[in-house]
Structure 1
Amino acid sequence: MIAAALLIGAPAHAQERVADVDIPAARLDHAIRLLSRQSGTSIGFRDSAIAKLGVKAVRGKLTAAQALERMLSGTRLEVRRVATNTYLIERAALPPAPRPVARPVPQPPATVPHDSVADEVIVTGSKRNVPLSVYPGGVQVIEGDTLSMAEGARGTDAIGARVASVVSTHLGPGRNKLFIRGIADSSFVGPTQATVGQYWGNSRITYSAPDPSLRLYDIRSIEVLEGPQGTLYGAGSLGGVVRVIPHAPDLGMTGGTIWGGTQAVQHGQPGVDGGAILNVPIVDDRLAFRALAFGSIDGGYIDDTKRGLKDVNEVRTIGGRAALRFVPADDWTIDLSGVGQRIDGLDSQYAERGGDGLSRASSIAQPYRNDYWLGDLVVRKQWGQLELTSSFGYANQYVFEQFEGVALADSTDLTVAPSASAAPAAYVQTDHISMITAETRLARRGPEGTGWVIGVSLLHNVARVNRQMDQFYLASAGSGGSTTGQTFPGVISIQPADTLTLTGVRNQVDEQTLYGETSIKPLDRLTLTFGGRLTHSRLSGDSEDVLKMFAFRVDPGASAARSETRLLPSAALAYRPSDQLTLFARYQEGFRPGGIAVRQDFVQRYKGDRVATTEAGARYSVRDFSLSLNASWSRWSDIQADLIDGFGFPTTANVGDGRVLSVGLAGRWQPVRGLSFDAAVYVNDSKVTAPAFATLPSDLARANLERLPNVADATGRLGFAYATSLSSSVDFEVNGFGRYVGKSTLGIGPILGQLQGDYLDTGLEFRVGTKRRAVTLSLTNLLDARGNRFALGSPFLVRDRNQITPLQPRSVRLGFDAAF
Structure 2
Amino acid sequence: MVLMLAAGSAPAAVPARVAFDVPAGRLGDALIRVAQQAGVTIGSIDPAVAALPVHGLHGRYAIDAALRRLLAGQPARAERIDATTWRVLAAPASPSPRPIPRPPVVAVPPSVGEIVVTAAKTGTLLSRYAGTASVVDGTTFSLADQAHGTDALVERLATLSSTHLGSGRNKLFIRGIADSSFNGPSQALVGQYLGDVRLNYNAPDPDISLYDVRSVEVIEGPQGTLYGAGALGGVIRIVPEPVAMDQVEGAASFGRSLTAHGDPGFDVMGMVNLPITGAIGARFVAFHAIEGGYIDNIGLAASNVNRTRKTGGRATVRANAGDWRIEVGGLVQNISSDDGQYAEAGLPPLTRSNRVAQPFDNDYALGSLTVARDWGGTSLVSASAVVRQDVDARYDFTAPAAADPRIFDQENKISLISNETRLSHRDSQGRGWVVGAGFIQDQEKLTRALGPPAAPNRILGVSNSVTEGAVFGEGGLELAPGLVASVGARFEYAHLVGKALDRDADVGEPRRDEKSILPSLSLSWRPLPDLMVFGRYQEGFRPGGLSITLVQSAPLIQRFHGDDLASAEAGVKWLPTGARRIEATITISHARWQNIQADLVDAAGLPFTQNIGSGRIWGAEATLGWRPFDALQLSTAAFANDSQLTDPAAEFAGPRRYELPNIAHFGASGRAAFTHDLRDGWKFEAEGSARYVGHSRLGVGPALDLLQGNYFIANAGLHLDNGRWRVSLDATNLFDSRGNLFALGNPFDVAAGQQRVPPRPRTLRLGLDVRF
SS in 2 for 1:547: coil
Q: Does 1:716 align with 2:673?
A: no
The one-letter code of the counterpart of 1:778 is: D
Structure 2 counterparts to residues 285-434 of structure 1, below 5 A: 286-330=279-323, 332-406=324-398, 421-434=402-415
Correspondent of 1:814 among 759, 766, 772: 766
Kindly state the Cα deviation for residue 726 of structure 1 after the two structures are TM-superposed: 2.5
Of the three residues 519, 524, 543, the one matched with 1:574 is: 524
Asked if the contact 2:76–2:88 (Cα under 8 Å) also holds between the matched residues in 1, the reply is: no
1:660 aligns with 2:622: no
Structure 2 contact 623–638 (Cα < 8 Å) conserved: yes
CA contact (8 A) 2:287 2:313 kept: yes
Q: CA deviation at 1:41?
A: 1.5
Aligned pairs for 1:465-504 within 5 A:
465-471=446-452, 496=454, 498-504=455-461
Correspondence for 2:164 among 164, 170, 174: 170
Counterpart for residue 437 of structure 1: 418
Aligned to 1:250: 244
Is 2:16–2:723's contact at 8 Å kept on the other side of the alignment? no
- The one of 161, 174, 178 equivalent to 2:155 is 161
By how many angstroms is 1:451 displaced? 2.1
Counterparts of residues 105-120 of structure 1 (less than 5 Å): 116=110, 118-120=112-114
Asked whether the 8 Å contact 1:21–1:67 carries over to 2, the reply is no
**How far, CA to CA, are the matches of 2:80 and 2:656 in structure 1?**
59
CA RMSD of aligned residues (A): 3.0
The alpha-carbon deviation at position 774 of structure 1 amounts to 1.5
Q: Which residue, out of 81, 101, 105, partners 2:91?
A: 81
How many Å apart are 1:744 and its aligned residue?
A: 0.6
What is the alpha-carbon distance in structure 1 between the residues aligned to residue 75 and residue 183 of structure 2?
Answer: 52
Deviations 1:546-580 (Å, cap 9, x if unpaired)?
Answer: 123xxx2xxx4232x10011011111101011222
Q: Distance in 1 between matches of 2:162 and 2:314?
A: 25
Are the counterparts in 2 of residues 21 and 35 from structure 1 also a CA contact under 8 Å? no
Q: 1:41 aligns with which of 43, 47, 52?
A: 52
Higher Cα radius of gyration: 1
How far 1:656 sits from its partner (Å)?
A: 0.6
Identical aligned residues as a percent: 39
Structure-2 residue corresponding to 1:558: 509
Match of 2:586 among 606, 609, 629: 629
Find the aligned partners of 2:166 and 2:750 in 1 and give their Cα distance.
17
SS at match of 1:546: coil
> How far apart in 2 are the matches of 1:810 and 1:86?
61
The residue correspondences of 1:510-525 to structure 2 (distance < 5 A) are: 510-525=467-482
Report the counterpart of residue 198 of structure 2 in structure 1.
204
Kindly indicate whether the alpha-carbon contact (under 8 Å) linking 2:191 and 2:231 is maintained by their aligned counterparts in 1. yes
Q: Kindly tell me: are residues 762 and 545 of structure 1, through their superposed partners in 2, closer, same or farther at Cα, counting changes over 3 Å?
A: same
Task: Please give the per-residue CA displacement for 1:73-107, whole angstroms capped at 9, x wherever unaligned.
Answer: 899x998722399699xxxxxxxxxxxxxxxxxxx
Deviation at 1:471, TM superposition (A): 2.2
Q: 1:67 to 1:212 in 2, by over 3 A?
A: farther
Aligned to 1:746: 698
User: Are residues 282 and 470 of structure 1, via their aligned partners in 2, closer, same or farther at CA, if it must alter by over 3 Å?
Assistant: same
Aligned partners of 1:704 and 1:749 also within 8 Å: no
C-alpha contact 2:23 2:374 (8 A) present in aligned 1: no
1:460 aligns with 2:441: yes
CA distance in 2, matches of 1:590, 1:78: 42
3-state DSSP of counterpart to 1:424: coil
State the partner residue of 2:487. 530
CA contact (8 A) 2:185 2:547 kept: yes
Is residue 239 from structure 1 mapped to residue 191 from structure 2 by the alignment? no
Q: Render the CA deviation track for 1:326-382: whole Å, top value 9, x for unaligned.
A: 11113x211111111000100100001234420001100000000011111111111
Tell me if structure 1 keeps the 8 A contact 2:77–2:88: no
Q: Give yes or no for the alignment of 1:608 onto 2:619.
A: no
Normalising by the residue count of structure 2, what TM-score does the alignment of the two structures yield? Answer: 0.89
Q: CA deviation at 1:714?
A: 1.0
Deviations 1:229-256 (A, max 9, x none): 1100011111110111111101122111
1 CA distance for matches of 2:75 and 2:741? 51
1:175-228 CA-to-partner distances (Å, cap 9, x unmatched) read 000000100001111010011111111011111000010101111111110011
Moved more, 501-510 or 353-362: 353-362
1:280: how far off?
1.1
Aligned residues: 724
Aligned partners of 1:471, 1:387: CA distance in 2, in Å? 58
Q: Secondary structure at the match of 1:152?
A: helix
Contact 1:461 1:510 in 2 (8 A): yes
Unaligned runs of 5+ in 1: 1-14, 46-50, 89-113, 408-418, 473-495
State whether structure 2 residue 716 is matched by structure 1 residue 764: yes
Q: Does 1:18 align with 2:4?
A: yes
Task: For residue 517 of structure 1, report the CA deviation from its aligned partner.
Answer: 0.4
TM-score by length of 1: 0.84
Match of 2:119 in 1: 125
**Range with greater deviation from structure 2 (124-133 or 176-185):** 124-133
| Letter of the 2:320 counterpart | V
The answer to whether 1:595 aligns with 2:545 is yes
Query: What is the match of residue 780 of structure 1?
Result: 732
Letter in 2 for 1:467: R
CA distance change for structure 1 residues 531 and 189 in 2, over 3 Å: closer, same or farther?
same
Cα offsets for 1:289-321 (capped at 9, x unmatched): 100000011100000112111000000110000
Structure-2 change in CA distance of 1:287 and 1:20 (3 Å): farther
2:431 corresponding residue in structure 1? 450
The alignment partner of 1:747 has SS state of coil
Deviations 1:528-557 (A, max 9, x none): 010101001001101111123xxx2xxx42
CA distance, structure 2, for counterparts of residue 58 and residue 614 of structure 1: 42
Bigger mean CA offset, 115-124 vs 611-620: 115-124
Instruction: Provide closer, same or farther for how the CA distance between residues 25 and 328 of structure 1 changes in structure 2, counting only shifts above 3 A.
Output: farther
> Structure 1 residues 66 and 639 mapped into 2: Cα distance closer, same or farther (>3 Å)?
farther
Q: Which one of the candidate residues 274, 277, 295 is aligned to 2:271?
A: 277
Letter in 2 for 1:389: V
Residue in 2 that maps onto 1:539: 496
- CA spacing shift, 1:665–1:27, aligned 2, 3 Å: closer
Deviation at 1:751, TM superposition (A): 1.9
- Give the 3-state SS of the residue equivalent to 1:151 in structure 2: helix
The match for 2:533 among 569, 576, 583 is 583
**1:429-451 CA-partner distances (Å, limit 9, x unpaired):** 00001100011111112462212
Change in CA separation of 1:465 and 1:66 when aligned onto 2, cut-off 3 Å = farther
Counterpart contact for 1:56–1:72, Cα < 8 Å: no
Provide the rounded CA distance (Å) in 2 between the counterparts of 1:116 and 1:66. 20
> Are the equivalent residues in 1 in contact too, given 2:26–2:376 (CA < 8 A)?
no
Q: Distance in 1 between matches of 2:748 and 2:475?
A: 50
Indicate how the Cα distance of structure 1 residues 524 and 793 shifts in structure 2: closer, same or farther if over 3 A, else same. Answer: same
Query: 1:29, 1:306 → 2: CA distance?
Result: 55
Equivalent position of 1:475 in the other structure: none
Superposed CA deviations along residues 632-673 of structure 1, whole A, max 9, x for unmatched, are: 000000011111111111111011110000101011101012
Name the counterpart of 1:480. none
When residues 691 and 447 of structure 1 are mapped into structure 2, their CA distance, relative to the original with a 3 A threshold, is closer
CA distance in 1, matches of 2:164, 2:210: 18
Aligned mates of 2:97, 2:743 — CA distance in 1: 62
Distance change (3 Å), C-alpha of 1:767 and 1:428: same
Letter in 1 for 2:509: A
Q: Residues 17, 250 of structure 1: CA spacing in aligned structure 2 closer, same or farther, 3 A cutoff?
A: farther
Structure 2: gaps spanning 5 or more residues: 10-14, 31-49, 99-107
Could you give the per-residue CA deviations for residues 121-161 of structure 1, whole angstroms, max 9, x where no partner exists? 10101111111122110111101111111111111010110
